[in-house]
Amino acid sequence: MLDTPRESDFDEIAELASKICETPIAVVNLIADGRQFFKAEVGLGVRETPLDSSFCAKAILEEDFLVVQDATKDPRFDCNPLVTGEPGLRFYAGALLKTADGYPIGTVCVLDFKARPLSPLQETTLRVLARQVMRQLELRRVLRERDEAQAQQTILNKEIVHRMKNTLAMVQAIASQTLKGVTEQDAVEALARRIAALGTAHDQLMQENWTAAPLRRIVRLLLNLHDTEGRIESDGPDIELGPRATLSISLLLHELATNAAKYGALSAPNGRVLLSWRVEDGGDPTMIMNWEERDGPVISEPEVKSFGTRLIRLGLVGKGGVEKSYPPTGFVAEFRATLEDIHAV
């Protein structure tokens, strides 16, 4: 707080202290090693004065409060140059600013050029204002620590994502080299695309500090990779996905769109897909997602259960909750999961 600009929160405290105590001078004073700084002041016009002539330097040696009704009669101040010379101070009253562990860091004080008493109400006011100053200082400390923690978390998240991308890239390279001789290159390409879908999901989680990712953003990013002609229509409320649901739904949508492009509606010139989701309230609020393909080729349920088929059967959060059908009009699937599972970390 030393050498910081004036702030209305503290200026108002000094102004109120001056008015309640009826003094020409009021200060919110911070004492540091060898110096004092006025965070707020009334009647001085400066932000700092020498510590060796400071009344507050004596006040912080007190328990909680210091009143000097006539400085010329107090041996601690009768030789002070601010008393014997200009501006001729006589009266001082200050309430200590103390940290939670009792360490004094300054005062809220008032000063006058004439000797005078301090009423109980005026003393109480100074004590209350001192507590308000400490609450303001504590709030700023907490906010600063929060900002520092968030900055560190952002750096950590970026480093995690960077390493994750390197790891996924390495996995892709190893898989490509290992499977170079495999005749079924479609399987190799499918593996690479699934790894890329995981990378997309991780990117979205990083943007939200690994706590949640908006469903609409996930849908838009993943389906845009497969739908350059705008043949996938999507609609539904924006739902916050937990990390597990983000990864599961990213892989699920990638698999559905890939299958639609290879075998389903998107493989036909006029084919299209309707993707919708909603939340049903009840005992356990449930998210329901529907995938409906239209105007594609005639299809039937595959006899061979591929990895993609098994991936789709895992559903929205890896727990199932899937109903599939293969009508002539195109593949249809309904996925269900409780919102508790959707939001879960």
pLDDT of residue 184: 61
Per-residue pLDDT tens over the stretch 251-288: 888 889 888 888 899 999 899 999 999 999 877 899 99
Q: What are phi and psi of 280, to 5 degrees?
A: -105, 125
Domain extents in the chain: 8-143, 211-343
pLDDT in tens, 197-255: 656 655 655 555 545 678 888 888 777 777 768 889 999 998 988 878 887 888 888 88
Q: Six-digit token pair at 91?
A: 């009266």
* Residue 23, both tokens: 């003094």
| Closest alpha carbon to 30 in 48, 9, 12 | 48
**Joined tokens for residue 21:** 């105590």
Q: What is the pLDDT of residue 89?
A: 94
Tell me: the pLDDT tens digits for 6-18?
999 999 999 999 9
If one compares 226 and 31, the residue with the highest pLDDT of the two is 31
The fold for domain 211-343 equals Heat Shock Protein 90 (3.30.565)
Asked whether residue 324 carries a pLDDT value surpassing 80, the answer given is yes
Give the model's pLDDT for residue 131. Answer: 94
Task: Give the pLDDT score at 299.
Answer: 86
Strand order in the sheet with 272-280: 232-235, 272-280, 286-294, 332-338, 322-325
Q: What is the pLDDT of residues 136-165, one digit of tens each?
A: 999 988 888 888 887 777 776 666 566 556
Which pLDDT belongs to residue 212? Answer: 64
The Cα 239–Cα 219 span in angstroms is 11
Q: Nearest Cα to 107, choosing from 45, 29, 170?
A: 29
| pLDDT of 58 | 83
* Residue-wise pLDDT tens digits, 36-79: 999 999 998 899 888 888 888 888 888 889 999 999 999 998 88
- What pLDDT is stored for residue 52 in this prediction? 81
* Torsions phi, psi for 93 (to 5 deg): -145, 130
Query: What's the pLDDT band for 344 if we cut at 50, 70, 90?
Result: confident
Among residues 58, 177, 69, 55, the alpha carbon closest in space to that of 122 is found at: 69
Instruction: Please report the pLDDT score of residue 12 as a whole number.
Output: 95
The strand pairing partners of 287, in sequence order, are: 279, 337
pLDDT reported for residue 181:
59
Q: What is the pTM of this model?
A: 0.53
pLDDT digits (tens, 9 = 90+) for 86-130: 999 999 999 999 988 889 999 999 999 999 999 999 999 999 999
CA-atom Rg of the chain in angstroms: 35
Fold of 8-143: Beta-Lactamase (3.30.450)
Please give the pLDDT value at position 123. 94
Q: What is the C-alpha separation between 248 and 246, in angstroms, rounded?
A: 6
Crossing angle of helices 243-262 and 215-226, in 10° steps, is: 20
Token readout for 88 is: 């001729």
Report the DSSP beta bridge partners of residue 42.
26
Task: Report whether pLDDT(195) > 60.
Answer: yes
Using the structure block, give the residue that is written with the tokens 């014997």.
Answer: 84
Distance CA 291, CA 192 (A): 24
Q: What is the structure's pLDDT at 200?
A: 62
Three-state SS letters, the chain: CCCCCCCHHHHHHHHHHHHHHCCCEEEEEEEECCEEEEEEEECCCCCCCCHHHCHHHHHCCCCCEEEECCHHHCCCCCCCHHHHCCCCCCEEEEEEEECCCCCEEEEEEEEECCCCCCCHHHHHHHHHHHHHHHHHHHHHHHHHHHHHHHHHHHHHHHHHHHHHHHHHHHHHHHHHHHCCCCCCHHHHHHHHHHHHHHHHHHHHHHHCCCCCEEHHHHHHHHHHHHCCCCCEEEECCCCEECHHHHHHHHHHHHHHHHHHHHCCHHHCCCCEEEEEEEEECCCCCEEEEEEEEECCCCCCCCCCCCHHHHHHHCECCCCECEEEECCCCCCEEEEEEEHHHHHCC
